[in-house]
Amino acid sequence: MNNSSIEYHPRTTLVSLFGWVSLVGGLLMAALLTLNMFLLRYAMKVNGGELFPPEEMAQIPSGVLVYLEHINAIWTVSIIAALLMAVAGLGVVRRRDWGRQLGVFMLAGSIILAFISIPASFMGSRGEVSAGGQTFVIILSVVQALASAALHGWLIWKLRTPAVRGEFVEPPSESLTR
């Protein structure tokens, strides 16, 4: 978008808060995921290369097994996403328009991911969850996705308003206003 038609606006608390939460939250999430990867590898090393003994693996729902089979890829993508959110947060804190745009992109991705994860939250159970329990999980997943979509959608809308976009425009120089 062309920022030359956007009028300068002073900094707001909402944008600063979004930037700092994104920066700190992204760094913390990347650190925690990295720590979890090392702990998982350590647990597997202690158990002779297996995370669970074979008799316990037979009791794990197939949806969880699929997750465990792809855990390295899932965690790697999650770490990259967390670092991208931290970079977006840094850009927003420094009032760089690329940071705002990356933040909007990451928020949109989180909305899509929330709805994609609904089927994954109840997929592959082997009958150990009652029908009422599965209904509860489905309802909880849908409510979580809707709440996430509402909050992130509102943030996307706010970050795209002319007033907020104006925070990412250079202020008029004082020599021109005198």
CB 126 within 8 A of CB 58: no
Q: Could you say which DSSP state residue 174 is in?
A: H
Q: Classify each residue of 142-176 as buried b or exposed e, where b means 16 or more C-beta atoms within 10 Å of its C-beta.
A: eeebeebbeebeebbeebeeeebbbbbbeeeeeee
| Percent share of the chain, pLDDT over 90 | 52
- The predicted-structure confidence for 21-69, as pLDDT tens digits, reads as follows 999 999 999 999 999 999 988 887 877 777 777 777 777 777 777 888 8
Looking at every residue in the chain, the average pLDDT score rounds to 86
Nearest by Cα to 115 from 83, 143, 77? 143
CB 106 within 8 A of CB 29: no
SS3 category, 5: helix
State which amino acid sits at residue 67: Y
Kind plus residue range of the DSSP H or E element containing 167? none
Asked whether the CA dihedral 88, 90, 96, 100 is positive or negative, the reply is: positive
CB 108 within 8 A of CB 42: no
pTM, two decimals, is: 0.81
Task: Kindly list the averaged pLDDT for each block of 10 residues, start to end, along the chain of length 178.
Answer: 70 95 98 93 79 76 78 92 98 96 97 86 58 77 93 97 91 59
**Rounded Cα–Cα distance for residues 9 and 83 (Å):** 28
**Rounded Cα–Cα distance for residues 39 and 126 (Å):** 28
CB 2 within 8 A of CB 166: no
